[in-house]
Structure 1
Amino acid sequence: MNEPDGLLEKTMNRSDMSDDEDLVFLAEGPAEPESLDTPPASDGWRILIVDDDTDVHTATLFALGKLEMQQRPLEFLHAYSAAEARTILAAESDLAVILLDVVMEREDSGLQLVRHIREELKLSEVRIILRTGQPGYAPEIDAIRDFDINDYKTKSELTRIKLYTAVATAIRSYEQIRAINASRRRLDRIARASTDLMTAHGLENFAYGIINHASAVFDIPNNGLVCIQEHGRDRTGELFVIAASGRYSPAADTALDAGQDARLQRLLLRALKERRNIFDADGVALHLGGNANRNFAAVLDIERPLDEIDRSLMEVFCRNIMVGLDNILLMTRLETFAFYDPLTKLPNRTRLRELVDKALGGQARGDATLALVDIDHFSETNDALGHQFGDLLLLGVAARLKKHLGSQLVVGRVGGDTFGVLGEACLVNPSILLELFSRPFRIDGQEVQLTATAGLLRLDDYEGSGADALKDADIALKRAKLLQRAGHFYFTRNMGVDIRERVRMMHALRTAIDEQEMFVVYQPQIDLATRRAVGAEALLRWKTRDGNFIPPDRFIPIAEFSGLIIKIGERVLREACRELVRLQALGFTDFTMSVNVSQVQFRHPRFLDMLEAVLAETGAPASQIELEITESIAMEDPDVLIDLLRRIKHTGVSIAIDDFGTGFSSLSYLQRLQADRLKIDRLFVTEITSASRGSSIAEMVIQLGRNLGMSVVAEGVEDERQAAILSSLGCPLAQGYLFARPMPFDQLAGWLRDNP
């Protein structure tokens, strides 16, 4: 039916309704009524009509059925009661607008349905337009406010234009609310994704996390890749894929070139060059940041172009990724520094310790062995050819160990020239390890022949930790070096007990120094002809707080090993000089004080400065101070020693060679040393009364001293027969229990007075 504009197009009356309930539309052009059974068009705006009047459904379809909003059709669902609407709402959630009659089964049926939609179903996005055919009835104002009613109209005032306007406004409102909620949800997903990415371990896991989270946040296919572009030395700027999923999976862990996907490479290079995100019709390239040497980018597939809001959200997502990437790169660098050797890139001592701990806690520990392999005489090579050459040599050794052992064993670098090997005992075999050094290493155009020494530890019945295992393997390595270079040694429990006893002794020694548990005693030296005391030897003693004495042959080597002998030796020298000054004040002016000097003291670069400072501080006469050095010291680097002795003698201090005859002195060097006195070791004094060997060695030393113009002192004289034989051989001086035991200074002073 065609009517002129402005006239009533159609009036629908129900027999049981008054004229006031008529739904009237003004003519706006020809239109055909749409069947209620017309299937809804795809991708349209879905509108639910809830009204107990069938004519209202028909009239609404007649008015709106052929119209589109924003190039999308309208799709209609129909409910003829509030109860039927509840059933539809329980199954349908993607509704844009509900046209709802206020009065149906009851006067408040419509408002109760609104309450159900908002409070129970929690549908906050759908827009609700209330309609009523009773102009005198109005819903509660509170309900309109509290339940987010989009519009309220009486059916009599709903012309076609007004109905279209109300629905169009509601759809726009629905679309905006949906966009806001979607953005809020995506922001929440972005925040959760950022948190998850912050906890990712390793760059590869982080990269895969980027692809997976982007797919979930933006509802896009899980097709993507993340690549790195590196510049600088030995880098060409190529794209290397560190993560790939979906249709890009074959590209993982490969270099990306134009032959694989020119469009993909073009997108990535553009994002990297322009340092920004690129949004294409079918893909997104994200610039993820980096530094001067390397940059990161990602490509993600999309099914449709991103709108402005999604682009903005993608920018937010990308900025969060950049922060997380900086953190993961920092953590990766820290982990690399913490667990890997910067030169060889092998696991370092810390990492190897963790792996040993893991092996000790695993089922395969019974078949595992730890080996430390040390390059022999590496320091000499390093000093002779330079540190750069030494680094190249270490890289060559690391490469050979890795090539031959790395596929089956753990190979690490635990120290300067020491490598660690961990794995099955049959493979961690000393003959296999040391055989790797049989062929020369070609370094910087030179062939270098090396040997190595190994210390090994079986883990099968080992009870310590990874740190303990490394220490004990090092003990075995040191033992191997002492016994046989280019050989090997397995750790035993007895070795561990010995070394731990040494460590315990070293700590106790430090305490003894601080708590003055150490003291000096003096043993007189006697002129055999007159039986008069002409001097004394200062000797160090250690008495613990519980009254036990620790023998010098136990604590002196540890003091030397730990370096504590420097402090101890200076204290002994200073005290001996002070007591010499006190003896002179008591009238013993022609008296010599002998002080032992260890090899560690003597080699210390400031020894001479210390000696001169002590002499100046105490006022002791240098001419009556004698330093005793062992024969072994005299034979080590004699040219350097000769120069040092010359400077010491320049101070006026004299030199005695202790324990003479126990070493292998060169007589020519002995003459060049210009020492003042030889001391016959107690071993040869004891043999004087032996029928088998007699006095031959003692007699030789006495004769040698006489020929070189040196005085001689015999140590360990315990009976008159020994003294008589020494005297008859021409030995001038002696000390030992026959004359006096070592005694504190006060006793020494009394003894000297009583034995003039």
Structure 2
Amino acid sequence: MNRSTASVDDDLVFMDEAAPPSDTPEAHEAKGVWRVLIVDDDSDVHSATTFALNNLEMQHRPLEFLHAYSASEARELLAREDDIAVILLDVVMEQEDSGLQLVRHIREVLKLTEVRIILRTGQPGYAPEIDAIRDFDINDYKTKSELTRIKLYTTVTSAIRSYEQIRAINASRRGLDRIVRASAELMALHGLDNFAAGILAQVATLLDQASSGLLCVQEHTNAQELTVITASGPHVKLVDSASGIRDGRIAGLLQRTLDQRTNIYGRDFATLYFGGNANRDFVAYIDTGATLNEIDQRLLEVFSRNIAVGLDNVLLVTRLHNFAFYDTLTKLPNRTRLRELVDEALGMPMRNDVILALVDIDHFSETNDALGHQFGDLLLLGVAARLQAQLGNQLTIARVGGDTFGVLGDASLVNPAVLLDLFDEAFSIDGQEVQLSATAGLVRLADYEGGGADALKDADIALKRAKLLQRAGHFYFSRSMGVDIRERVRLMHALRNAYEEKELFVVYQPQIDLQTRRPVGAEALLRWRTKDGTFIPPDRFIPIAEYSGLIIDIGERVMREACKELMRLRSMGYTEFTISINVSQVQFRHPRFLDTLRNVLAETGAPPSRIELEITESIAMEEPDALIQLLGEIRQTGVSIAIDDFGTGFSSLSYLQRLQADRLKIDRSFVTEITSSSRGSSIAEMVIQLGRNLGLSVVAEGVEDERQASILASLGCPLAQGYLFARPMTVDQLTTWLKDNGAR
């Protein structure tokens, strides 16, 4: 076999072989060139490669060669040139791994992922084939002695095909990404006009060209008339033109697109069919300047189908937007829109001069119920119209819900006196004169730290405070109010978590017979210790538990644990021991309270005669008839009743007798007074005497020193509890304490 070119190891060799088959497809439009970069430190290799591949077409395009004679020269060339399809790269140049380092630079630094790289070397030992191909995105790896002319042609052709496929895939991916972004951006536009203009802009972006075209609608009621919604470029003069589309060619193409219900692509244009609904269809004409390639056409097909759905629903979206941000009755901004406007005001430098007010119609529900909802709606429309007429030119008026309106604007204009004076004149509704008044809650945005939602909440708080203080009045929100409310909310969430995490627990404070000084029972008390060991006082968390309704579950748990502890003590021989359980007002009023009590007694087996429920005097005085019936049903279970904090309320003695309670508890404040003044024991003495006359037992709370205990005993008080005898203790501590203090 003869060699046409003598070489040493680094020479490029072409063997005498048959020429490659000629490429004889039908004529194609010129599609540019394939750019091939030759990187080699041997000029003969450049000449031989160019000679071997010159005048050949690959994929119907000729080749254009670029040359670099070192890795550093190639780096400079690649930094300024683009659209290079193939790099023929020598491995060993300035250094043994110069070629491989250049590959790393191309992929990792220049981020050129599409260009195909063919490694060539005359010294394969310096670049192991498996390692090179594994570590780098290399299209092919050949020793120069392998590359005959036909093999070189085949290798480069394969690389160009790979490059073309990767380019097509990436172009499609980029196009689809643009379509996704375009759809998202278009959906953010409101109104048909904005949406239509957005379509032309997004098509231009998709095709990487200036926006030039028009979008039309054809109503099915007049199928021959095309109405231009929006236009761009030289077509912009057609918008709102009485003569419509003056270019008969464009009009004909658009009508043909509508008739065929498909896109049409020409040498310098594209018409896009977007479809529509039962009432109308949409179509666009786009100037392209040249015939679109297959990828662009496919992308426009996807885009058209996506946008067809958007156009079909754009009016629905507009209606939904109105529903979301505007009140359907008054057409004023609603609470959501007002919140956005407050957010905008908070971001403005003039925020110090802005006030948000909520104005609530007094007793509107009674008027609505008495005269009907239709009349109520007319009344709300009348109020909205007056507010808008008197204030709308200078302030933002909104309806935030029900019979509450929002007013936002300059502090000098959002004046509570001005707002409330607007209700002085009667409203004429459906032939009737209706006199109204209103109450206002206001928030100054100066130095406000929250957002629009917080400002509305705080305005609500101020409005509620104003209603509590005085109808037809007003109240400004203060930071102290906000701190208090937010602290309560924080504590409420913490309490709910504490209940789940078993941070709440029961302690017991013994009750003592003052004559024998022996324990006869104990009061079950609830405590809260957080995970870090901090104790939260009951007077802080009990009201929160009542407000949130969590007291129902907490109270049931306390009752069950107290009954279980009673049974444990009875098993240890403390059979005459009584447990007292506090019952919250909310808990006591719950319709299932009696069922809960019966279930707990049944489940634990606790003897009802050794369970005492403590209710406050304030509970005893509310709804007396219902309470008397409930207490009677409780007594039927065998459980006894004690009235706690007795003497702090205003109990009727006759009513007290009807309650048929079993015990009175003298409040600690009266026990403290026993030793503080000459007449300090008067109230305690009267309670003890009252208990004796009514046949009720009496227990004194808060006994802290021996003198108090002696006076109470001398007055005839049978029982007492307090720090003098024992502090509240856990179940284990209680067991030990009882053993030491001889309770049997």
Q: Distance in 2 between matches of 1:513 and 1:507?
A: 10
Residue 729 of structure 1 is matched in structure 2 by: 715
Residue 91 of structure 1 is matched in structure 2 by: none
Q: CA RMSD in A?
A: 4.2
Residue 744 of structure 1 is matched in structure 2 by: 730
Q: 1:722 to 1:633 in 2, by over 3 A?
A: same
Residue pair 1:374, 1:453 contacting (<8 A) in 2 also: yes
Measured after TM superposition, the shift of residue 209 of structure 1 is: 5.3
**Structure 1 residue 277 corresponds to structure 2 residue 277:** no
Q: 1:593 to 1:448 in 2, by over 3 A?
A: farther
Residue pair 1:410, 1:423 contacting (<8 A) in 2 also: yes
Alignment of 1:706-721 (within 5 A): 706-721=692-707
Alignment of 1:353-752 (within 5 A): 353-376=339-362, 394-439=380-425, 450-691=436-677, 694-752=680-738
- Alignment partner of 1:320 out of 255, 259, 282: 282
Measured after TM superposition, the shift of residue 445 of structure 1 is: 7.0
Residue pair 2:227, 2:244 contacting (<8 A) in 1 also: no
Alignment of 1:3-42 (within 5 A): none
Residue pair 1:476, 1:490 contacting (<8 A) in 2 also: yes
Q: 1:495 to 1:615 in 2, by over 3 A?
A: same
Q: Distance in 2 between matches of 1:207 and 1:752?
A: 82
Return the TM-score normalized by structure 2: 0.60
Alignment deviations for residues 53-90 of structure 1 (CA, whole Å, 9 cap, x no partner): xxxxxxxxxxxxxxxxxxxxxxxxxxxxxxxxxxxxxx
Residue 189 of structure 2 is matched in structure 1 by: 201
Q: 1:373 to 1:703 in 2, by over 3 A?
A: farther
Residue pair 1:522, 1:744 contacting (<8 A) in 2 also: yes
Measured after TM superposition, the shift of residue 199 of structure 1 is: 5.2
Q: Give, as a single letter, the amino acid of the residue that structure 1 aligns with 2:617.
A: E
Q: Give, as a single letter, the amino acid of the residue that structure 2 aligns with 1:320.
A: F
Measured after TM superposition, the shift of residue 729 of structure 1 is: 3.4
Q: Distance in 2 between matches of 1:510 and 1:195?
A: 44
Indicate the SS of the match to 2:441. strand
Q: Give, as a single letter, the amino acid of the residue that structure 2 aligns with 1:319.
A: D
Q: How many residues align?
A: 512
Residue pair 1:595, 1:628 contacting (<8 A) in 2 also: yes
Residue pair 2:357, 2:442 contacting (<8 A) in 1 also: yes
Residue pair 1:375, 1:450 contacting (<8 A) in 2 also: yes
Indicate the SS of the match to 2:506. strand
Alignment deviations for residues 301-352 of structure 1 (CA, whole Å, 9 cap, x no partner): 3558787544223564662378544322222233233323445443233222
Residue pair 1:625, 1:653 contacting (<8 A) in 2 also: yes
Q: Give, as a single letter, the amino acid of the residue that structure 1 aligns with 2:343.
A: D
Residue pair 2:186, 2:199 contacting (<8 A) in 1 also: no
Alignment deviations for residues 253-302 of structure 1 (CA, whole Å, 9 cap, x no partner): xxxxxxxxxxxxxxxxxx97xx43343xxx65799xxxxxxxxx998635
Residue pair 1:369, 1:456 contacting (<8 A) in 2 also: yes
Indicate the SS of the match to 2:615. strand
Q: Distance in 2 between matches of 1:710 and 1:609?
A: 27
Measured after TM superposition, the shift of residue 361 of structure 1 is: 0.6
Measured after TM superposition, the shift of residue 458 of structure 1 is: 0.9
Residue 262 of structure 2 is matched in structure 1 by: none
Measured after TM superposition, the shift of residue 614 of structure 1 is: 1.5
Q: 1:389 to 1:580 in 2, by over 3 A?
A: farther
Q: Give, as a single letter, the amino acid of the residue that structure 1 aligns with 2:244.
A: D
Residue pair 1:277, 1:286 contacting (<8 A) in 2 also: no
Q: 1:544 to 1:402 in 2, by over 3 A?
A: same
Alignment deviations for residues 190-218 of structure 1 (CA, whole Å, 9 cap, x no partner): x9xx98995573336359859999xx999
Residue pair 2:674, 2:680 contacting (<8 A) in 1 also: yes
Residue pair 1:277, 1:285 contacting (<8 A) in 2 also: no
Indicate the SS of the match to 2:447. coil
Q: 1:715 to 1:210 in 2, by over 3 A?
A: closer
Residue pair 1:370, 1:457 contacting (<8 A) in 2 also: yes
Q: Distance in 2 between matches of 1:351 and 1:553?
A: 40
Q: 1:412 to 1:623 in 2, by over 3 A?
A: farther
Alignment of 1:93-172 (within 5 A): none
Alignment deviations for residues 384-407 of structure 1 (CA, whole Å, 9 cap, x no partner): 777666666555544444443333
Q: Give, as a single letter, the amino acid of the residue that structure 2 aligns with 1:518.
A: L
Measured after TM superposition, the shift of residue 500 of structure 1 is: 2.8
Q: 1:285 to 1:514 in 2, by over 3 A?
A: closer
Q: Give, as a single letter, the amino acid of the residue that structure 1 aligns with 2:191.
A: L
Q: Distance in 2 between matches of 1:561 and 1:354?
A: 31
Indicate the SS of the match to 1:319. strand
Larger deviation: 553-562 or 357-366? 553-562
Measured after TM superposition, the shift of residue 412 of structure 1 is: 2.5
Residue pair 2:357, 2:407 contacting (<8 A) in 1 also: yes
Larger deviation: 717-726 or 392-401? 392-401
Q: Distance in 2 between matches of 1:498 and 1:649?
A: 41
Q: 1:721 to 1:466 in 2, by over 3 A?
A: same
Residue 317 of structure 2 is matched in structure 1 by: 331
Q: Give, as a single letter, the amino acid of the residue that structure 2 aligns with 1:658.
A: D
Q: Distance in 1 between matches of 2:377 and 2:566?
A: 54
Residue pair 2:398, 2:406 contacting (<8 A) in 1 also: yes
Q: Distance in 2 between matches of 1:542 and 1:549?
A: 6
Alignment deviations for residues 610-655 of structure 1 (CA, whole Å, 9 cap, x no partner): 2222222111122322222223333334444334333333333232
Residue pair 2:228, 2:244 contacting (<8 A) in 1 also: no
**Structure 1 residue 301 corresponds to structure 2 residue 244:** yes
Residue pair 1:713, 1:732 contacting (<8 A) in 2 also: yes
Residue pair 1:631, 1:665 contacting (<8 A) in 2 also: yes
Q: 1:471 to 1:750 in 2, by over 3 A?
A: same
Q: 1:326 to 1:731 in 2, by over 3 A?
A: farther
Measured after TM superposition, the shift of residue 423 of structure 1 is: 1.0
Return the TM-score normalized by structure 1: 0.59
Q: Give, as a single letter, the amino acid of the residue that structure 1 aligns with 2:312.
A: D
Alignment deviations for residues 706-753 of structure 1 (CA, whole Å, 9 cap, x no partner): 444433322111123222333343433221112211111222223223
Measured after TM superposition, the shift of residue 578 of structure 1 is: 0.7
Residue pair 1:376, 1:451 contacting (<8 A) in 2 also: yes
Alignment deviations for residues 550-574 of structure 1 (CA, whole Å, 9 cap, x no partner): 2111221222222222222111111
Alignment deviations for residues 154-212 of structure 1 (CA, whole Å, 9 cap, x no partner): xxxxxxxxxxxxxxxxxxxxxxxxxxxxxxxxxxxxx9xx9899557333635985999
Indicate the SS of the match to 1:320. strand
Q: Distance in 2 between matches of 1:391 and 1:674?
A: 52
Q: Distance in 2 between matches of 1:444 and 1:593?
A: 66
Larger Rg: 1
